[in-house]
Amino acid sequence: DIFPKFATEGIDNGFQQPPPLRTRLICELIGTCLFVFFGAGCAVNSPDLLTVSAAHAIVTMWLVYVLGPVSGGHFNAGATIAFAVDGKMKIIEIIGYLLAQAIGALCAGGLLVWVFGTGTTLGTPGLHPGITVIQGFAIEFLCTTVLSFVIFFTTTYNSQKEAAFPIGLTVFSSFLLGAGRDGAALNPWRWLGPAVFSNTFRSTAWIYGVGPITGFLCGYGIFRLYKLIWNGRAGPYV
Amino acid sequence: DIFPKFATEGIDNGFQQPPPLRTRLICELIGTCLFVFFGAGCAVNSPDLLTVSAAHAIVTMWLVYVLGPVSGGHFNAGATIAFAVDGKMKIIEIIGYLLAQAIGALCAGGLLVWVFGTGTTLGTPGLHPGITVIQGFAIEFLCTTVLSFVIFFTTTYNSQKEAAFPIGLTVFSSFLLGAGRDGAALNPWRWLGPAVFSNTFRSTAWIYGVGPITGFLCGYGIFRLYKLIWNGRAGPYV
Amino acid sequence: DIFPKFATEGIDNGFQQPPPLRTRLICELIGTCLFVFFGAGCAVNSPDLLTVSAAHAIVTMWLVYVLGPVSGGHFNAGATIAFAVDGKMKIIEIIGYLLAQAIGALCAGGLLVWVFGTGTTLGTPGLHPGITVIQGFAIEFLCTTVLSFVIFFTTTYNSQKEAAFPIGLTVFSSFLLGAGRDGAALNPWRWLGPAVFSNTFRSTAWIYGVGPITGFLCGYGIFRLYKLIWNGRAGPYV
Amino acid sequence: DIFPKFATEGIDNGFQQPPPLRTRLICELIGTCLFVFFGAGCAVNSPDLLTVSAAHAIVTMWLVYVLGPVSGGHFNAGATIAFAVDGKMKIIEIIGYLLAQAIGALCAGGLLVWVFGTGTTLGTPGLHPGITVIQGFAIEFLCTTVLSFVIFFTTTYNSQKEAAFPIGLTVFSSFLLGAGRDGAALNPWRWLGPAVFSNTFRSTAWIYGVGPITGFLCGYGIFRLYKLIWNGRAGPYV
C-alpha cells in the first residue's frame, strides 16, 4: 500500500476526477499497441543498436507523457502485476488492464503484418547467436528490475509528464545493453504481438514473460524497502 | 468546437492579444519552409535511418517551440484541415494558412536547389523497392493518425512550448518506422517542395497527400471521441 | 534597441546584480574554447554525420545552460556583432567579447594539438568535394540566419536555461544539413582555432567568417522586423 | 566551504530531513553499479562512438535525476574527493561514500560477467593504438575538469533534477571527444569494475584514477575561484 490509489492527475488529462475504468482501458490498449508497433517496427527496419534503442526509448517517452496522466501508463504486464501486488487495484481493474494490453499487443501485430507483410519475424525478440538462455534471462530480469524501480521512484515523486523522460532514458540504457544480445523485450507484450502474427515461437521465449514480471516484482520490492526501511524509518541525522 | 479559438499564448510570443493574421501567415510560411528545408536536406545527405529520423524530429521540436506560440505551429496541410473541420477557423484563415504553407514549401524547394544543385531528387519521399502502395499509404495514414492525436492532446493540456517535445518525439517514432519504407513525408508539403524543384513526380505520390490529410482527420476524430465520450461524460468513479 | 540591456539572470548565476565585465569575458573565453574543443575534437574522431552534428548541438546546449546566464552565451563573433548593432553594448564590451572569444578559440586549438597531435586538420571545416564556394556560403549564411533568429526569439521570451534546448536543437538541424557539405562552422571561431594550430588555410575559408556574420545580421534584421512591424504594431484582431 | 552541507532535496526524495547516511551509501552503491554496468555493457556491445557516448550520457542523466536528490549523486571518486576537500563531509562519510562506490563498481563487474561471460575485456577502458599515455591523461584530466565545473555550477544554482540534463550532456560531449582515443572512463570506478572481473590490468591504467581525481579537484578550484573572485566580489557594474 505504498502508492496513491491512482496515479492520475486531474489537471493534466482534462478530467475533474479520476477517469473511468473504460477510458483507462482504452488508453492501455492504445498505448500497448503503439509501443509494440513502433518498437517492433523499427526493429524490423534496422539492426543498428542505437537506432533500435532510440526507437523504444522515444515511443516510451511520448506515450507516458501523453497517456500516462490518464491510465497511469503501464503498457506492460510486469507493471500492472507489480501495482496489483501493491494492493490498490481491484481485481476487475487488474484483469481489465492485462486484457486491454494483450489486445493492444495483438492489434500491433496485425498492423505490423499490414505494413511489413509476411516473411519476417516482425521484430520478435530472440536470443542472438552465442547468448545462453541464462544470460538472456539475466538481461530481462536485471533491466526490468532497474526500470521498475525508476518507474516507481519517479512517478511517486514527480508527475507522469516529468517522469516520462527519466523512464524513457532508462529504457534507452536497457536496450543499449541488451538489444544486441537477447532482443530486449522488457515487456511480455513486446514479444506477444510480433510472435503471434509472425508465428515465431521459440523454446526460449519464456524469458520475455518470466523475466520482466519477476524483474518488476523485484524492483517493486526494492522500492518498498526504500520507502519502509531506508526512507520511512529515517531517524535523526547520522 | 473542442479547441480554444486560437492556440496562441500572449505571454510567450510578445503579443498582448492574438497575433494578427498576417503575422501568423508569415510564421506558417517560414515554419513550413524550414521544416521542408532541414528535413529534405538531411535526407539528401544521408540514407541512415536514425540520422534522417532525428533530422525531422529535431526541426519539428524547435519550430513548434519557437513559432508554435505565434501561429499555432501547423506547418502541415493535414493539421490545418483538421483544425478547420473543428470549426474555429474562418474561411480566409484556412485558405491563408494553406497558401502560406504551400509557398513556404516551394521556397524550401528553391533553397534546396541552391544548396544541393540539380541531379538529385532533393529528398523527395518515394516508395522503397518492395513496398506496395497500400503499405506506403498505411504508414502515412497510421503515423499521422497517431501524430495528430498527440498534437491535439498535448496542445490542449499543455503550452506549445511543453508540447514541442512529445510532438517531436512522435515524429521521431514515425520516421523510425517509415523512413526506410515509403520515405515518410507525414506532410503533403514535405513532398511538394522537393518534388516540384527536382521534377520528381511518381504515380504513387498521392499517398503523401491523401495519407496525412485522412490521418489527421482520423486522429481529430479520435481526440473528439476522447473529449466527448470518455472524458466529457465521465460519470461517477467505476 | 530591442533587447534588454543584458540578457543575464541574477537568480540563476549567483549574482545579485549583472556580473562584472571581467567575469563575462572569462565566461566567453572559456565557453568559446569548449565549443571549439568539443566540436572540432569530435570532427577529428568521426566522419559520421549524426555523430558530428550531435557533438556540436550537445556542447551548445550545456554551454548556454551553464554559462548563458552569466555572459549571455554568445561564443560567436556573429552573435556579438548582432548584439552590438542592436546598440546596447559599449564599445569596450564589444571589443572585449570578440577578443575573449578569439583567445578562447586559440586555446581550444592548443588543447586539440595536445590531445590529437599533429598530422590532422584538427577538424578545420572545409568544402567537401563537389561543393561550390557559393553553396558553402549559402549553407553558412542560411543556417546562421535561422540560428540567430531562434537565439533572439528564445532568449527574449525565455530564460537562457530554457532557451538552451531549442538553440542546441537548431544547431543540430544546421549541422545535419551542412556538416557533410562545407563542414558547417556557423561560427568564425570554430574555424579559427583548428585552422591556426593545424596550419590549414584554404582560399575558400572566408565563407566561415563572412557567412556567419552576415547570417547573424540577417537574422537580427528579421527579428527586428518581427518585433517592430508584425508584433509591435499588432492592431485589432483581423 | 562553498557548498550547502548536503545537496539533498527533501521534497524530491520523500524525506522530511536529510536522508540518513546508510540510505545515501546504498544509493551511491547502486548508482555506481548501474553507471558501470550500463556504460561498460554498451561498450562491450558496440564500438560505435555515438552509441557508446549516448550510453554513458543517458545512464548519467537518469541516475542523477532519480538518485541525485537522495545521496547527491556522486557515483565517482573524483566527485566525492572534491566535495571532501570542500570540507562539508565528515571523515566517516568520505570513507563510506568511497567504499560504497567501490563495492558498487565490483558488483557491476560481477553482473557484467554474468551477462557477457568471460573472454572480453568487459568494456575496460584502454588506450587505442597510436594514443600516447600523455594524450590519454590529457583527455581524462580536461574532460573531468569541465565536467566537475558543470556539476558544481548546475547543482549549486539548480535542483539535482534540473542539473541531470546538462550534466549528462557534458558527459556526452566528453565521450564523443575521448571514447575513441582512451576509452574515456572519466571515473576511476568505471575502470575498476570491468578491469578486476576481466583481469585486464595495463600499465597505463593509472590515468583512469589520477586523471579524473585531479580533474575534479581542478574543476572544484575553478568553481571556487568563480564564487570567490568573479562572483563574490562583484562590485558596481562596469
Predicted ipTM of the assembly: 0.92
Residue of A nearest to D37 (CA): A177
Cα separations in angstroms, A136 against A171, A181, A185, D71, D106: 16, 7, 10, 32, 21
Check residue D127 and report its DSSP letter: P
Within 8 A by CB and 6+ apart from B114, the residues are C135, C138
User: Distance between CA C194 and CA D145 in Å, rounded?
Assistant: 21
Which residues in chain A are contacts of B218 at CB distance < 8 A? none
Nearest to D231 among C15, C55, C58 (CB): C15
Number of H helices, E strands in chain C: 9, 0
> What pLDDT does C5 receive?
39
Crossing angle for the helix pair B91-116 and B21-45, to the nearest 10 degrees: 30
Whether the CB of B176 is below 8 Å from some CB of chain A: the reply is yes
Nearest to D115 among A138, A158, A172 (CB): A138
User: Distance between CA B201 and CA D126 in Å, rounded?
Assistant: 53
Q: State yes or no: pLDDT of B69 exceeds 60.
A: yes
3-class secondary structure, B181: coil
Q: In which element (H, E) is residue A72 found?
A: none
Question: Which chains have at least 3 CB atom pairs separated by less than 8 Å from chain D?
Answer: A, C
Instruction: Choose from A2, A48, A56, A173 for mutation: most chain D CBs within 10 A.
Output: A173
- Residue D131: alpha-carbon gap to chain centroid: 23
Mean local confidence (pLDDT), B49-71: 95
Residues within 8 A of B (CB atoms), C 67-126 only: none
Nearest to D150 among C26, C62, C111 (CB): C62
| Cross-chain Cβ contact A37/B230 below 8 Å | no
> What pLDDT does B1 receive?
41
Residue with cell 549559402: C138
* Cα torsion angle, D201, D204, D210, D211, sign: negative
CA C233 to chain D, closest CA, distance in angstroms equals 34
- Cβ-count burial B146-168 (b if 16+ within 10 Å, e if not): bbbbbbbbbbbbbbbbebbbbbb
Instruction: Choose from A51, A67, A70, A120 for mutation: most chain B CBs within 10 A.
Output: A51
Angle in degrees, CA D69, D71, D73, rounded to 5 = 80
User: Distance between CA D108 and CA D85 in Å, rounded?
Assistant: 28
Q: What is the mean pLDDT of chain B?
A: 89
Residue with cell 475533474: A16
* pTM assigned to the model: 0.93
> What pLDDT does D238 receive?
33
Q: In which element (H, E) is residue C180 found?
A: none
User: Distance between CA A137 and CA C220 in Å, rounded?
Assistant: 57
Whether the CB of C198 is below 8 Å from some CB of chain B: the reply is no
* Cα torsion angle, B41, B42, B43, B45, sign: positive
> What pLDDT does A16 receive?
66
Which residues in chain B are contacts of C156 at CB distance < 8 A? 14
User: Distance between CA A162 and CA C209 in Å, rounded?
Assistant: 41
| % chain B with pLDDT above 90 | 74
User: Distance between CA B62 and CA C232 in Å, rounded?
Assistant: 23
Within 8 A by CB and 6+ apart from B144, the residues are B78, B174, B186, B211, B212, B215, B216, B219
User: Distance between CA C67 and CA A20 in Å, rounded?
Assistant: 48
In which residue ranges of chain A is pLDDT below 70? 1-14, 16, 232-238
Selected residue with higher pLDDT from B10 and D153: D153
> What pLDDT does C17 receive?
72
> What pLDDT does B232 receive?
66
Instruction: Choose from A177, A218, A224, A237 for mutation: most chain D CBs within 10 A.
Output: A177
| Ordered DSSP codes for D98-133 | HHHHHHHHHHHHHHHHHHH-SSS-TT---PPTT--H
User: Distance between CA C226 and CA B102 in Å, rounded?
Assistant: 21
Cβ-contact C97, C78 below 8 angstroms: no
Whether the CB of B203 is below 8 Å from some CB of chain C: the reply is no
pLDDT values of chain D reduced to their tens digit, one per residue, 238 residues: 455 434 444 446 667 677 889 999 999 999 999 999 999 999 999 999 999 999 999 999 999 999 999 999 999 999 999 999 988 899 999 999 999 999 999 999 999 999 998 888 999 999 999 899 999 999 999 999 999 999 999 998 888 899 999 999 999 999 999 998 988 889 999 999 999 999 999 999 999 999 999 999 999 999 998 888 877 654 443 3
Q: Which of D143, B46, B65, D135 is nearest to C52 (CA)?
A: B46
Residue B8 binned pLDDT confidence (cut-offs 50, 70, 90): very low
pLDDT values of chain C reduced to their tens digit, one per residue, 238 residues: 445 434 444 446 667 677 889 999 999 999 999 999 999 999 999 999 999 999 999 999 999 999 999 999 999 999 999 999 988 899 999 999 999 999 999 999 999 999 998 888 999 999 999 899 999 999 999 999 999 999 999 998 888 899 999 999 999 999 999 998 988 889 999 999 999 999 999 999 999 999 999 999 999 999 998 888 877 654 443 3
